Structure 1
Amino acid sequence: MNARSQVVLVAQREVRERLRNKAFRITTLIFCLAAVGAGLAAGLIGSGGADEVTVGTSGPDAARVVDGMQAAGKSYDLKPEQKAFGSAASARAAVDEGDVDLAIVDGPRLLVGVDADARSIALAQAAWRADAQRQAVERGGLRGAEARAVLSPAPLPTTELGDADADAKQGVAYIGALLLYLVIFTYGLTVSSGVVEEKSSRVVEILQAAVPPRRLLLGKVLGLGLVGLLQTAAFLVLGAIAATASGAFDASGIAAGAAAITGLYFMLGYLLYACAYAMAGALCARQEDLQSVTSPLTILLVGGYLLSTGAISSPDGTIATAMSLFPPWAPIVMPGRVIQGAVAWWEVALSVALMLAMTLVVLRLADRIYRGASLQVRGRTSLKAALGGAGR
């Protein structure tokens, strides 16, 4: 069996074992439901709709004003509803008792309660002025197109500046950074935990009798990375579908690019950290030792995520640029900057090149340590001993 077949065989084993794991299936289901829930919640929070306002009326003039309020209500984010009364006294009593928000009665007069919304008052006043202007124009003898030209002149030509999807893109960038941090951290620990488990159970001795350590390590990293990529894709797709369906934002123009850049940097970040976590796992003989050995990597990841929030809010800043080029933090920061359109193509190319270069260095180091320490099952192995064992 050639080297490629051995790596593929080990990767297939890791995929099968992961998919058969009940805890993994439950966790995936929970996170998928959470992604759908987050997308739907974003739509519910952002789609409160127009506020309803009840307007009492007494007399034909008041009814015309309410018609004008209903026509212009969208501009004020209000939805006026009319409630007619037989007399001005009845309308006044309804305002006093809180049955209506305000009332327009013959006189003319606007009646409002002490807690009346300023927008409702402004809308009623604007509708009343528009009706008065229309009446004046008609009394002056203008009709049809002439009257409309006076009452409704053509609006000023408007040019929209900026990015209409800026808020949505920033929201996607924050979610993407959190997702990348969680998935890279989770699968990095999975790699190190799997290495320790095989080492403590002596299974690694059987595996290395059939497959060289380097290919065994590479197959493990690639197999778990494939599972992680599929899981991440499921979260992104379900979340984007839910957000679009709920009306939170139109994800059609954002989701494809966000998914592509997130997938790319997940694989780059995962490969880098998986090799580092595998190296840490090889130094441990028990699961109890894993936390202390992997803590520097965890601190590096957590620190990168915490700093990424500021970088995403200011994607053109010096800190954001530096973090997106620094290989250990680039997987968390760079996708958010790309989604927000704050990155030149050469920055992405340089970031990918630096990450690949660092990954190759860490992979070579992980290979030496894995070969030197994976068969040492008595206590924790020092870095010097692992490197020395690889040379023998």
Structure 2
Amino acid sequence: MSATPGNESRGVWRIVAGREVVVKLRDRNFVISTVVTIVAIIASLAISGFLSSRPDKVEVAITGPETAAVLDTANALAADTDTTFTGYAFPDRAAVEQQVRDDVVDVGLVPVEPSGWLLIGKTAEDTDTATYITAAAQQIALQHNADAAGVSLEQLGRGAAVDYDVLERGAVDPGLARIVAFVFAFLFYLASVLFGMSIAQSVVEEKQNRIVEILASAMPLRQLLIGKVAGNAVLAFVQLALFVGAGLAGLAATGKTEQLGQIAGAAGWFIVFFLVGFLALASLWAVAGSLATRSEDLQSTATPLSMLIMIVLFAGIFLTGTARVVASYVPIMSIVAMPGRLADGTAAWWEPFIALALMAVATYGIVIIAEKIYRRSLMQTQGRLTMRQALALEE
């Protein structure tokens, strides 16, 4: 049995969605910007990993007896790290200080009686170098004192052992969690503006060129809206998935595998939250285009939506404490706030499900209202409309 015209019109949105995808994929600027962003993400993480894993070679100007022994002990203590100390002997303290001033070496090490040793820097203290050399000097001093007291070093240090037990091994450190939250907020802003403005411009161009009148005679306006939203939602989802995948791959390459699981889970939730929320945002961007009659009108009709996106961006970056918890349940804001909380481990496993349900309900309501405004304003070409004016129009 053949399909009825009504059934045929209900599937037209797929054609519109396919056209949106094809047009975007043929846009060289879109493809190039996507590839460049992926390369930039991978390159930045690779450079970060290279810099963090690069050996730290510390050159030390030394003078006096047993100074070389201190460096040897410091190298032994730093054997499991990328830090190495190389000593260069000089006749006296003045020569050591001159080497430091001339930037020939990183630091100087000279004996000071009776306290022990003195590290010499040029403009600031090197805390890592100070840690290893101090520990080495203390170990040598303990050995000398133990020999003088007629006991072994083990006996002298009995009861001083300190072990380390990590209660939440693999949890994301706060600094990395803040970076992840910032990345979520930035990706939300980038995708919302990029794809949203594309929808609005497409709508207003079709309206300005009177193409929409031809489209309206061939399909229901509801199907046209659904197609535009669905097509751009697919593109946004794929692009975000590529960005997040590149970021996770780069993070794994830097050796942060213990934290990768939690961050990957938060990133997955971010994509889901964005996809659901983008359906509402895309509908509102389409409304911004339908309310305008010329491309110049978009600056006015899209201002409220642009302000909302900026608010969500800053909320995702700067909110903390109770305000952040509340924002993680507020639709649209939860796109960045809830995944950010999941990244730093402050959200329970059940919280994203509740926040996503609230987002879905809000999205449904926004789409219903947006669809009414879109249908009532799209065919109006006399001038720019407000939402209230559009709702007052007869269909």
Same topology, TM > 0.5:
yes
Residues 1:93 and 1:339: Cα distance change in structure 2 (over 3 Å): closer
State which of 368, 371, 383 in structure 2 corresponds to 1:367: 371
Instruction: Summarize the alignment of residues 213-362 of structure 1 with structure 2, pairs less than 5 Å apart.
Output: 213-246=221-254, 252-311=260-319, 314=320, 317-362=321-366
Aligned residue in 2 for 1:27: 33
Aligned residue in 1 for 2:4: none
State which of 8, 12, 24 in structure 1 corresponds to 2:14: 8
> How many angstroms apart in 2 are the aligned matches of 1:125 and 1:304?
48
Q: CA deviation at 1:44?
A: 6.0
Q: Which of 39-48 and 301-310 deviates more? A: 39-48
> How many angstroms apart in 2 are the aligned matches of 1:271 and 1:190?
14
The code of the aligned residue for 2:136 comes to A
Confirm or deny that 1:82 pairs with 2:62: no
> How many angstroms apart in 2 are the aligned matches of 1:337 and 1:63?
50
Residues 1:27 and 1:361: Cα distance change in structure 2 (over 3 Å): same
Confirm or deny that 1:175 pairs with 2:196: no
The 8 Å contact of residues 277 and 360 in structure 2, kept in 1 or not, is answered as no
Q: CA deviation at 1:249?
A: 7.4
Confirm or deny that 1:133 pairs with 2:137: no
Q: CA deviation at 1:54?
A: 0.8
> How many angstroms apart in 2 are the aligned matches of 1:256 and 1:305?
21
> How many angstroms apart in 2 are the aligned matches of 1:122 and 1:29?
44
The code of the aligned residue for 1:127 comes to A
> How many angstroms apart in 2 are the aligned matches of 1:96 and 1:359?
68
The 8 Å contact of residues 47 and 248 in structure 1, kept in 2 or not, is answered as no
The 8 Å contact of residues 46 and 250 in structure 2, kept in 1 or not, is answered as yes
Q: CA deviation at 1:111?
A: 6.3
State which of 193, 207, 224 in structure 2 corresponds to 1:199: 207
Q: CA deviation at 1:264?
A: 0.7
SS of 1:79's equivalent in the other structure is: strand
Q: Which of 254-263 and 33-42 deviates more? A: 33-42
The 8 Å contact of residues 52 and 79 in structure 1, kept in 2 or not, is answered as yes
Q: CA deviation at 1:229?
A: 1.0
Unmatched segments (≥5 aa) in structure 1: none
Residues 1:250 and 1:135: Cα distance change in structure 2 (over 3 Å): same
Q: Which of 236-245 and 285-294 deviates more? A: 236-245
Residues 1:260 and 1:128: Cα distance change in structure 2 (over 3 Å): closer
The code of the aligned residue for 2:322 comes to T
Q: Deviations over 1:171-216 (max 9, x none)?
A: 1111111211221232222211111111112222222333211111
Same amino acid, percent of matched pairs = 31
Aligned residue in 2 for 1:52: 58
Residues 1:289 and 1:122: Cα distance change in structure 2 (over 3 Å): closer
Residues 1:154 and 1:220: Cα distance change in structure 2 (over 3 Å): same
Q: CA deviation at 1:244?
A: 3.6
Residues 1:362 and 1:95: Cα distance change in structure 2 (over 3 Å): same
The code of the aligned residue for 1:187 comes to F
> How many angstroms apart in 2 are the aligned matches of 1:106 and 1:289?
76
Residues 1:77 and 1:203: Cα distance change in structure 2 (over 3 Å): same
Q: CA deviation at 1:319?
A: 1.5
**TM-score, length-scaled by structure 1:** 0.82
RMSD over equivalenced CA pairs, Å = 3.4
> How many angstroms apart in 2 are the aligned matches of 1:202 and 1:273?
25
Residues 1:107 and 1:262: Cα distance change in structure 2 (over 3 Å): closer
Aligned residue in 2 for 1:184: 192
Residues 1:156 and 1:127: Cα distance change in structure 2 (over 3 Å): closer
**TM-score, length-scaled by structure 2:** 0.82
Q: CA deviation at 1:140?
A: 6.8
Residues 1:124 and 1:325: Cα distance change in structure 2 (over 3 Å): closer
Residues 1:55 and 1:369: Cα distance change in structure 2 (over 3 Å): same
Residues 1:113 and 1:178: Cα distance change in structure 2 (over 3 Å): closer
The code of the aligned residue for 2:382 comes to R
Q: CA deviation at 1:326?
A: 1.9
Q: Which of 258-267 and 63-72 deviates more? A: 63-72
Aligned residues: 379
Q: CA deviation at 1:104?
A: 5.0
> How many angstroms apart in 2 are the aligned matches of 1:121 and 1:303?
45
> How many angstroms apart in 2 are the aligned matches of 1:118 and 1:388?
70
Q: CA deviation at 1:307?
A: 2.6
